[in-house]
Structure 1
Amino acid sequence: MDNVMFGSLKAKDCVIFQCKICHSVLGDSLQCCGTSSILNALMCLRVTENVELDSIILIQGPLSECLYKSLHCSFCRAKVGMVPCSTTESLSHLRGLYCLDKGALHCYMLQSKSAVEVSDLNLEPQSLTQHIGELKRQIVVAHCRLMAAVKKLDELVGEESGLGSSILNLERGHKPQTYHCKV
C-alpha cells in the first residue's frame, strides 16, 4: 500500500482525525493545511459532518482579542476546536479555517492501521522551493533516462546499418552529441 497514491499524496501519509472521547471521524490529513502553535491546533480546510459549528460567536478563551465560533463533536458534544471569524492581523491566516485542537484529537494512520499521537505527525505542507526542487530532480532523472535510451538506440541503429549517428540527429540535421547525467 506504500506505493498507492491519491493525487500527489501517498497512502502511507493519510491520517484520520478522530474525537479523542468517542472516536467519531472529524477530518483527515487530505484537508489539513498546517498547524498553529499559538492555538496548538491543526488547520483544516474542511471537516466531516460529525463536527458542529456553534452559532454563538465568542471573544474569551485562547483568542481573547478575536471573534470565533467553537467546534463540537456532534456525538459526544466535546469541544474539538474553533473557527476564527475576525482576528488581529497577526492571526489573519487562521480566519475561516477549522482549527482542530490537538488535545481533543485521536489520530489513526491508514497504512499501519494504528493510532498515533498528533505530536508524532509532520503535517506542515512542503514549501514551494521543496516542490520545485523535487520537480527539477524528477526532470533531470527523466532527461537522463531519455538520453540513455537515445544512446542505446544509436548503438542498435549503428550496429544494424553501420551508421554511427542517431536517427534523431539525422532527421534534424544535427551533429551527434554526448550527454553525461548525474543524479
Structure 2
Amino acid sequence: MATTKQSLTYRQKIVNSTFETSSIDSTAVEEKLFRQVAMEENDDDNPVVFICAKCRLPVGDSLSWDGSEDGQNQIRLKRVTDNVLVGKESHLFEPSKRSRCLIVDLTCRGCHSVLGMVYTSTPKNLDHKRFTFCFHVAGIDSYVLGSANQMLAAEGPKEQPATLEYCNTVEQQLTEMKMLVMSMAQRLEEIEVGIHE
C-alpha cells in the first residue's frame, strides 16, 4: 500500500512538472469547448441566396422572404436582383378551376429561362400573392451563407504567418489543452486511488 502511495505521489510530481499550473479553471475550458461545438452545430438561421438553376446567377435572398406555397412548389420574395426580368405582357393563369389570375413571367437575364411569375390580378383568396415575386422551386437553387466547410491546411510557415495575434491564439489554446489534460490526469489519479483502497 505504501509503494502505491509513493508511486502516485511520484506520478503527481511528474504531472505537475510537465504541465505548469495556470489561472484558467478547467471547467471554464470545458464549457468554452462545448459551447463552441454547439454554436457550430446551430447555424441553421444563416441567410440563403437563391440562384438560377441553369446559369447560377443570383436572383434573390432570404432577407426579402415573403412566404411559400407548398402545394404549388413556389416561394415568394418581396425583392429580387437585377438578374430577374419582369415580363411586360400579362396572360391568364388558372391555379384552380375557381381561380383565374393575370400574371407576367419572371425570366433570368442570363439564360432567359422562366423562373416564376408575378400575379398582377387575383381573386380575393389569392391577394397575398399579388405583386410579389413567385419563383418555381424547380427553376432555382439555393446556397446557405456560412455553409462552406472546406479549408486549406497550412503546410508550413509560408502558408500561416506567425503574427502576434496568431501566436497569442495558439498559446491560449495550448494553455486550455494543458488544463484539460491536467484535469483528466487528476481525475484518473482519484479513480486509481479509489480502486486501490
Q: Give the TM-score, by structure 2 length.
A: 0.50
Aligned residue pairs, count: 107
Which is higher, the Rg of structure 1 or of structure 2? Answer: 2
Mapped to 1, the partners of 2:67 and 2:148 lie a distance apart of 23
| 1:71-123 deviation digits (Å, cap 9, x = unpaired) | 00000001001000000111111000000111111100111138xxxxxxxxx
* Counterpart in the other structure of 1:22: 55
Q: 1:51 aligns with which of 74, 84, 102?
A: 84
Please state if 1:41 is matched with 2:77: no
Displacement of 1:38 after TM fit?
4.2
Q: Identity over aligned residues, as a percent?
A: 32
Q: Please state whether the residue corresponding to 1:56 is helix, strand or coil.
A: coil
Which ranges in structure 2 are unaligned for 5 or more consecutive residues?
1-37, 150-197
Higher-helix-fraction structure: 2
Please state if 1:80 is matched with 2:115: yes
Query: For the Cα contact (< 8 Å) 1:12–1:109, is it kept in 2?
Result: no
**RMSD in angstroms over aligned alpha carbons?**
2.3
Query: For the Cα contact (< 8 Å) 2:94–2:101, is it kept in 1?
Result: no
Which ranges in structure 1 are unaligned for 5 or more consecutive residues?
4-9, 115-183
Query: For the Cα contact (< 8 Å) 1:22–1:76, is it kept in 2?
Result: yes
Please state if 1:102 is matched with 2:161: no
Q: Please state whether the residue corresponding to 2:88 is helix, strand or coil.
A: strand
User: Which structure 2 residues correspond to residues 1-183 of structure 1 after superposition, within 5 A?
Assistant: 12-60=45-93, 62=95, 65-113=100-148
Q: Give the TM-score, by structure 1 length.
A: 0.53
Displacement of 1:70 after TM fit?
0.4
**4+ long deviations beyond 3 Å:** 60-64
| Greater RCO, 1 or 2 (C-alpha within 8 Å, sep 6+) | 2
